[in-house]
Amino acid sequence: MRKLLLYTLIASFALMVACTEEHEHTAPAIMPQDSVAMMVTYGVNTLISDSGVIKYRIVSEQWEVNQNVNPSRWIFEKGLFLEQFDLAMHVQSYIQCDTAYYYDVEKLWKLRGRVRILTKNGLRFSSEELFWDEKKHLIYSNKYSHLITQDKELHGNRFVSDEKMTKYSVKYTRGYFDKGDLGNAKNNNNKQQSDSARMSGRQPAVPRRTNH
């Protein structure tokens, strides 16, 4: 059962799975109850290989699968960390958060608390909450989000992206650029104002205080 769930977990993150050595500690047996989880695993730290090459790692302090609650879900109350390696075992991408929920019927991931993502393209994303809708192939957040790419840095309160985070939009955006670029833009703007004033035969207007 646990191996099957590992396959589903990685597949949902667009990763191919082939399980390697696994070490787990199972919770003590408890009496059946309506809300009891069907599986609780502690100390998950699993390497995943593809064609004999280690490519992925899953780390979680506690993983609970509960189909007796509505809606049914997987619960990572103490955090979730997934990373992908290249052939030299360098980290290519990762996803981490303080808490994660996967609603298996809705095919919806909900990541909460210090959500951090690095993509293969070098995009770095951080927020306090992120949703991943597998049915709609959509990633989005209604919380303050921070994005850093090779050429820009963006802040916004509404983030929407495709599953690969290659096509995205940020609303209520604040952008940050190189300070030198801002200085050049300011100088160019002042020069344009001065040139316009000379062409009109007038000096640039100087703000004056008016007494009423």
The overall average pLDDT reported for the chain is 76
What are the tens digits of pLDDT across the range 78-108? 999 999 888 888 888 999 999 999 999 999 9
Tell me how far apart the alpha carbons of residues 66 and 74 are, in angstroms, rounded to a whole number.
6
Predicted confidence at residue 90, as pLDDT, reads 87
Res 184 pLDDT > 50 = no
| pLDDT grade for 6, boundaries at 50, 70 and 90 | low
What are the tens digits of pLDDT across the range 108-145? 999 999 999 999 889 999 999 999 999 999 999 999 99
Cβ 204 vs Cβ 194: under 8 Å:
yes
pTM score of the predicted model: 0.67
Tell me how far apart the alpha carbons of residues 96 and 111 are, in angstroms, rounded to a whole number.
8
Res 211 pLDDT > 80 = no
Predicted confidence at residue 115, as pLDDT, reads 97
Cβ 37 vs Cβ 56: under 8 Å:
no
What are the tens digits of pLDDT across the range 11-51? 555 433 333 344 444 445 444 455 677 888 899 998 888 77
The tokens for 30 are: 């408890």
Predicted confidence at residue 205, as pLDDT, reads 45
Tell me how far apart the alpha carbons of residues 5 and 17 are, in angstroms, rounded to a whole number.
11
Tell me how far apart the alpha carbons of residues 127 and 207 are, in angstroms, rounded to a whole number.
43
